Amino acid sequence: MINALYIHIPFCENICYYCDFKRSVYNQEVVDAFLSQLEKEITARVQNKMLHTIYIGGGTPTCLHEAQLERLLHIVEPYTHTAAEYTMESNLESISEAKLELMQAHGVNRISLGVQSYNDDLLMYMNRKHKAADIDSTIATIASYIPNISIDLIYGFENQSKEIWLDSLEKATSNPNVKHISIYSLTIEDNSVFGKRGVKPIDSDLEADMYILGREYLKTHGFEHYEIANYARAGYESKHNQVYWAYEDFYGVGLGASGKDGHLRYAITGTMDTYINDGGTLFEEHLSDKDILIEYLMMNLRTKKGIDKVKFKEIFHRSFDDLFDDAIERLVLYHQAIQSPTHFAMSEEGMLLLHTHLVQFMEVIDIIMEDEQDV
């Protein structure tokens, strides 16, 4: 049974220069029509109303006007009654006390806030509309309604020194209302404004240094490192994102969303017009047994917990230790991984080279699949 729901609201008041997600500039009439189609899609697709987690992302869901936000919350409400975590993404400039009152009344219990930096020059560079001076006061207002607050921070800008990065980390961790921090390296996407302007990524060694600086600072200032890019105060880990990392199934609705149901992965694609008129284009991909095994490893090894060997055997009917004994031995020997009778996980050092280490597992999987085809 699927217990998690992701809803994509592809509207923003302005476009950040690093972003290439499916999104449109806010238009009231278009949003009204979008919500009508979204309601039809949720009713048709989401069969389980006893969900554990709900995540409304985008885009910027809170850029909707109050009446539209209330309508969205009403559409989702039948699915919220058993949700342990109900997250809404927001930017600082699009949230208000009136919107917070609506969200609180409809069961939203977690806010993911796009802070990105505490440096005004960087905020302007990436086309964010808030100021560093607004951050703590906005977080305090949110916390008075919804105290579970996660923030995003970005590193890896060419004009961002280690001192500027450290300043953002210091200010974020010193705010007791911040319960969760996600840190992301800037990725230059071809379809983003940065990509079209020819902005280049920073040197990979400097990027690694900034990742390590962020990791070590957060770990020594009250935040547990529980996934490559995610840190939380005790008890505030993201329940919804752990569904993805555990490679569990989830519903996806809204233009730009994706979902997974067993061996089927799907995405809602197309233009805003095609979505509003007939639900867009449903792109479906059948995942092979090999795909499932590779992606299961890729997602679970992103986390501090790593591979649960009992669960692995229940899913794949194979012993993790027997399948990957040589790779396990090498990674543990060189302190890239941690092995116990029940779990296998990457070490902090190993996480830095996760993509490289995954190649070893993929080589084993290729041999296994070839042998089985020959039988």
Q: What is the mean pLDDT of residues 127-148?
A: 98
- Residue whose tokens read 């209302």: 177
Confidence label for 190 from pLDDT (cuts 50, 70 and 90): confident
pLDDT value at 337 more than 60:
yes
Query: Among residues 132, 148, 50, which one has the least CA distance to residue 100?
Result: 148
What digits encode the pLDDT tens for the residues 231-270? Answer: 999 999 999 999 999 999 999 999 999 999 999 999 999 9
More reliable by pLDDT, 192 or 97: 97
What's residue 17's pLDDT? 86
Structure tokens at 318: 């194979």
What's residue 375's pLDDT? 46
Grouping H, G, I as helix, E, B as strand and the rest as coil, residue 292 is helix
- Residue whose tokens read 């499932």: 292
Mean pLDDT value across the chain = 96
**Measured between alpha carbons, how far apart are the two ends of the chain, in Å?**
34
Distance CA 34, CA 296 (A): 34
Record the pTM. 0.96
pLDDT value at 21 more than 90:
no
pLDDT value at 20 more than 60:
yes
Total residue count of the chain as it appears in this document: 375
Residue 106: other Cβ atoms inside 10 A: 17
pLDDT value at 371 more than 70:
no
Distance CA 167, CA 120 (A): 12
φ and ψ at residue 248, rounded to 5 degrees: -90, 165
pLDDT value at 93 more than 60:
yes
What digits encode the pLDDT tens for the residues 207-231? Answer: 999 999 999 999 999 999 999 999 9
For 29, 89, 99, 112, 133, the CA distances from 67, given in Å and listed in that order, are 13, 18, 9, 21, 29
Residue 137: other Cβ atoms inside 10 A: 10
Q: What is the mean pLDDT of residues 282-294?
A: 97
φ and ψ at residue 314, rounded to 5 degrees: -65, -40
What's residue 169's pLDDT? 99
Confidence label for 369 from pLDDT (cuts 50, 70 and 90): confident
Confidence label for 373 from pLDDT (cuts 50, 70 and 90): low
What digits encode the pLDDT tens for the residues 44-56? Answer: 999 999 999 999 9
Give the angle subtended at the CA of 317 by the CAs of 314 and 320, to the nearest 5°.
Answer: 85
Q: What is the mean pLDDT of residues 343-353?
A: 97
| Structural domains of the chain sorted by starting position, each given as residue range(s) with its CATH number in brackets | 4-245 (3.20.20.70), 301-375 (no CATH)
φ and ψ at residue 257, rounded to 5 degrees: -85, 160
